A and B are shown apart, each in its own frame.
Chain A
C-alpha cells in the first residue's frame, strides 16, 4: 500500500478506509513522495503531512458550507416563519460576531450551560417552532453528503468568530461546575480498553500512528485544537463540528455513543474551551 494511503488510513484507532478525495489530493500533491521505493523515515512523512496540510489551506470547501449556513440563519423558516437572527448566543439577540468564542456559557433563560450547538437547537425550537426530536435526529452528515442544517449554520456562526479571542466564561457557579464535571470525565477511564480522554491527550509530543495528539491540558495545544474546530475533514468530505469531534473520539475510545448536545458533551467542551483561553478562533479550519 502506498505510504500516503497508510498515513491517512491509519491515523485513527479503527483504521477505516479513506475517501477518494484524499487519494486524489495525495496523488496530486505527493507524486514524488509516493514514488519513493524505500520507506521514508517518520520525520519526512511528518514533513510531507505538514506540506499536505499547507496545500489544503488554498481552498476550504467549508466556505461554501458557511454561505449555506448564513442563508439558513437569515431565512424565515419553521412553523413560526421567523429567522434565527433574534437568537441570543450570549452577547444579546442578533449578535453573532464573536459569539462562538465565548461558548459554552450559562444562559439564564434555560438555567443551564449551553455550547453553540445546544443553543442553536434551542433557538430553532423556541424561535422557529421546529420539533426538537426532528432537529436533533441526524445532526451529522454522512461521508461525502452535503452538510446538515446544524453543520451549515455552525460553520457560518463560527466563521463570524474568526480572529476572536477564546473566552469561555467561568463566572456563574454552573459554569464552574460544568468545567469540573468535564474535567472528571476527561480523566474517567472505562470500557474494554480502559481509555479516558487523557490516555491520548494529556502528554506532550505524542502520536497515534503519524497523527499528532494535542495535550489538551496545556494552553497552547488546547488553544490550537479548540480554535480549529469545527473543520472541514477532507478524508470524509464533510464539515465536522465540535460535538462530532467528541462523538468520534469516544467511538474510538470504545465507549457507547455520546448523545448529541448531552450534558456530558457540553461539560467536556467547557473543560476544553476554558483550557484554551486566550487562543484566537480560526475556524472552520481544514484538516486531513
Chain B
C-alpha cells in the first residue's frame, strides 16, 4: 500500500495512541483500560479482560468524534476481512424458524446471565426484520425483504455471512457486533439467521 507523507504521519500518530491505549486530557494522556479496571469488577462470565481493547476497538474509540482516514479505514477493513471464517462446503443456510428465535433473543454474555446461557443475536434490538414484529430498533437499517430484494446467489450468501461474522470488514467502526468473530453466535446459529434473511419462505421475505 502506498501512502503519501501526510497519511503516513496520520498512521504514525494513530499507532502511537493505539499502542498505549491512551486518551488525551488536556496536555496529559491517560491509560483508559487501566483507569476503567479500577472501577469495574469481574462478575460471572464478564471478566476484567473485557476492558482490554483490541486494536480495532482502540482505533474506533479514538476516531469516535472524527472521520476515520481513508487509508486507515482500508487497512482495518482488509485486516477484518481476513478474519472471516466461511462455512465448510458453502453450507450457508439453516432453519429460518430457529433464526427468528435467535433474532428475538437478547440473552447472553451479560454479567447477569447464567454461564451456560445460549447467546442470542438480538437482531430486533437494532433492525426491522419481519413485518409481524413491530418492536424493532432503528440503529441499523431495515432488513425487511432482505432476500427478496437481493436473491440468494453465491456472492450475496458470502457477503451476508461475512457481514454477520465480522461487520467491520465492510464498514470499519460500525456499531454492529462481530457475531462470528467475537464468538457471540456459533456457525449453526449464523446459518439459521442467514435463513431468516435469505430463505424465500422466511417471513422476512414475505
Contact = CB atoms under 8 A, between A and B. Distances in A.
Q: Do A and B come from one complex?
A: yes
A209 B135 contact: yes
Contact of A10 (B39, B124, B126): B124
B101 to A, nearest CB: 11
Contact of A192 (B33, B41, B50, B139): B50
Is chain B's interface secondary structure helix, strand, loop, or mixed overall? loop
A26 to B, nearest CB: 14
Contacts of A211: 137
A210 B25 contact: no
Nearest to B117: A14
B178 to A, nearest CB: 7
Contact of A187 (B47, B65, B104, B126): B65
A173 to B, nearest CB: 9
A207 B134 contact: no
Contacts of B135: 3, 6-7, 10-11, 42, 45, 209-210
Contacts of B131: 39
Interface residues of A, number: 57
Given A15-B105, A209-B135, A190 B60 contact: no
Interface string B109-147: 111110000001010111000011111111100000000
B39 A262 contact: yes
B58 to A, nearest CB: 8
Nearest to A268: B39
The winner among A10, A39, A195, A196 for most chain B CB atoms within 10 A is A10
A185 interface: yes
Given A40-B134, A256-B48, A265-B39, A13 B106 contact: yes
B39 A14 contact: no
Interface string A242-255: 00000000111011
A193 to B, nearest CB: 4
A254 B50 contact: yes
B78 to A, nearest CB: 18
A193 B177 contact: yes
A58 interface: no
A263 B25 contact: no
Nearest to B104: A15
Please provide the 8 A-B residue pairs with the shortest distance between their CB atoms, ordered closest to farther.
A264-B39, A262-B39, A184-B23, A187-B64, A15-B106, A256-B40, A257-B43, A180-B25
Interface of B: 23, 25-26, 30, 32-33, 35-36, 38-43, 46-48, 50-53, 56-57, 60-61, 64-65, 104-107, 109-113, 120, 122, 124-126, 131-139, 175, 177-178, 182-184
Given A42-B135, A251-B111, A262-B39, 8 more contacts: A6-B135, A14-B113, A177-B25, A190-B36, A192-B109, A198-B64, A210-B135, A254-B109
